[in-house]
Amino acid sequence: MALNAKQTQQQRLMLAPNVTLALEVLRMPLMELQAFLESQCEENPLLELDEELAEEQRDEPLEETSKDAREHPEDEEWPAGQRTLSETEDPENDDVAEDDRRLERQTAAPISLRESLLMQWGCQPGSPEDRSLGELLIHQLDEIGYLEGSLEEAAVHAGVELAHAEWVLKLIQRLDPPGVGARDLRECLMAQLEQAGEEQTLAYRIVASHFPLFVQQRVPQLAKATGSSAAEVTQACERLKRLNPKPGRAFAGNLPPAIVPDLLIKRGERHDDVELNDQELPQIRISRSYYRMLRDPNTAADVKEFLATKFRQAGWLIRAVGDRQATLLAIGRCLISLQRDFLEHGPKALKPLTQAQVASLVGRHPSTVSRAIAGKTIDTPCGVFRLEQLFATNLPQNGHAEQVSDAQIKSAIQQLIDEEDPRRPLSDAQLVRHLTQRQLSVARRTIAKYRAQLSILPAHLRKRRL
């Protein structure tokens, strides 16, 4: 088959670079936008941060200072930021202050699960081969302390038998926190009980031999299988529930970062308003020095071409940030004006609201609203919420003209389950009947879906024997 080269003409719809940039900036949450603007200021010489200008103005030496420097040139031999002894305090106090600063740095730095385990493992006796295999297994633990990799592959990689690798893993499981290094939840609970010296207890027998029945909360079957009373089985199950299923989460280094909201609620005497949380957002502007170089007729042609390209890109970015802020503020104010009851009573007071309705009110396309609220949060009197959570689906009610949102249904389900008898939890069908008595018409499959979204177990798993 011969290869032929030919030319064809095609029409394609492509977005201009400034439009692509505007859509990308609109999508970014606050912290991501902050990092993006800082990186753009480093790459584009036509962009500069206003805060940097303010610092430069504060750090600029006065005329008298410059004159002093010319009269005493020997002062220039000192490195920047270094002071002479006459300008400092007592050197003994400096030593104490340095110790305090060192201690502050040590206490402020969080330690990760892997670092803690490696330090403990380094204090354990053993051969170099065992130490190497243990370090390999520790590096294969996930953030909650479970072994992600295959023990068989680790044994092959270390050149040892699988039984020896099992023995090394058992040593790791004796480290702190208890239960770390397990391959599943069952092994994690067993390791914690072994470390507590409870191998001969009923709780350990249940986990070791009847774990599926424990997960399903089958107390009568567990009592029959273990030859114990229902009260003893219930007490053993309560002991197991007090164990930590995710031992690695106890470390500060694994905590998620704090959420920085994009919008803030400003409470007023007569009405509430929405503000942009732009205090941490860099304020960018066109660099005057490079702009003068661009307008200078004596500037070389290739330099002018480069500066002109960067000038266009800087203008696109500044306009994109302005459009993002205006769009986000308009959407936030629209949401709060329509969901005013939410500020007083929480999510249960959310009214049915769609993105298309908000788009029509703020004069934007629904896709623009969808992109603008993605990943954005708002700080309200009820806590920090994603903007997506302020939208609610309308559930039609048989014979009722009043609109009911899915958030109201979820709140009613949560209230019913909180008030149920733990010995006789409500099934999905019973929840349907209770909601019908409240003039809320919901199908059973919808109840099951909302219950799963609320992380609520089925009735047979919520059952408790008191």
pLDDT in tens, 17-49: 888 999 999 999 988 999 999 999 889 998 888
pLDDT for the residue numbered 272: 77
Residue 328 has pLDDT above 90, yes or no: yes
Residues 358, 347: Cα–Cα separation, whole Å: 18
pLDDT in tens, 67-120: 443 344 343 333 333 333 334 444 445 555 545 544 444 444 567 888 888 888
The whole-model pTM stands at 0.59
CB atoms < 10 A from the CB of 202, how many? Answer: 19
The token pair at 186 is 């069952």
- Residues 403, 404, 407, 409: what is their CA dihedral angle, to the nearest 10 degrees? 180
pLDDT band at 367 (very low <50, low <70, confident <90, very high): very high
pLDDT for the residue numbered 326: 94
**Which has more confidence, 307 or 69?**
307
Segments of 388-440 assigned E as strands: 394-395, 404-405
| Environment class of 244 (CB within 10 Å of its CB; exposed 0-12, middle 13-18, buried 19+) | middle
Name residues whose C-beta falls within 8 Å of residue 41's C-beta, 6 or more positions apart in sequence.
47, 48, 49, 282, 284
Average pLDDT over residues 341-367: 87
pLDDT for the residue numbered 318: 92
pLDDT band at 1 (very low <50, low <70, confident <90, very high): low
Percentage with pLDDT > 90 across the chain: 16
pLDDT for the residue numbered 392: 81
3-state class of 257 per DSSP? coil
Q: Contact, 113 vs 141, CB < 8 A?
A: yes
**Which has more confidence, 153 or 15?**
153
pLDDT in tens, 224-269: 888 889 889 888 888 998 898 888 887 755 455 667 899 998 877 6
pLDDT for the residue numbered 351: 84
CB atoms < 10 A from the CB of 43, how many? Answer: 9
Write down the number of H helices and E strands in the chain. 23, 8
Residue 417 has pLDDT above 60, yes or no: yes
pLDDT band at 51 (very low <50, low <70, confident <90, very high): low
Radius of gyration of the chain from Cα atoms?
A: 32
pLDDT in tens, 166-197: 898 888 888 888 888 888 999 999 999 998 88
pLDDT for the residue numbered 10: 81
- Residues 167, 170, 172, 178: what is their CA dihedral angle, to the nearest 10 degrees? -170
Mark 350-385 as b/e (b = at least 16 C-beta within 10 Å): bbbbebeebbebbebeeebbbbbbebbbbbbeeeeb
pLDDT band at 312 (very low <50, low <70, confident <90, very high): very high
The Cα angle at residue 422 between residues 419 and 424, in degrees rounded to 5: 100
Q: What is the DSSP letter of 144?
A: T
pLDDT for the residue numbered 132: 87
User: Is the Cα dihedral 146, 150, 153, 159 positive or negative?
Assistant: positive
Residues 331, 369: Cα–Cα separation, whole Å: 8
Residues 333, 345: Cα–Cα separation, whole Å: 18
| Environment class of 213 (CB within 10 Å of its CB; exposed 0-12, middle 13-18, buried 19+) | buried
DSSP string, 276-328: E--TTS--EEE-HHHHHHHH-TTS-HHHHHHHHHHHHHHHHHHHHHHHHHHHH
**Which has more confidence, 376 or 104?**
376
**Which has more confidence, 315 or 75?**
315
Residues 126, 123: Cα–Cα separation, whole Å: 9
pLDDT band at 390 (very low <50, low <70, confident <90, very high): confident
Residue (of 348, 337, 349) closest to 271 by Cα position: 337
Residue 246 identity: K
Residue 360 has pLDDT above 90, yes or no: yes
Residue (of 388, 294, 411) closest to 335 by Cα position: 388
Specify the range with the lowest mean pLDDT, choosing from 57-66, 277-286, 423-432.
Answer: 57-66
Average pLDDT over residues 357-367: 92
Mark 149-178 as b/e (b = at least 16 C-beta within 10 Å): eebeebbeebebeeeebeebbebbbebebb
Q: Which domains does the chain have, with CATH numbers?
A: 113-210+241-252 (no CATH), 263-390 (no CATH), 394-462 (1.10.10.60)
pLDDT band at 63 (very low <50, low <70, confident <90, very high): very low
Q: What is the DSSP letter of 197?
A: T
Residues 289, 206: Cα–Cα separation, whole Å: 75
Q: What is the DSSP letter of 62?
A: P
**Which has more confidence, 51 or 158?**
158
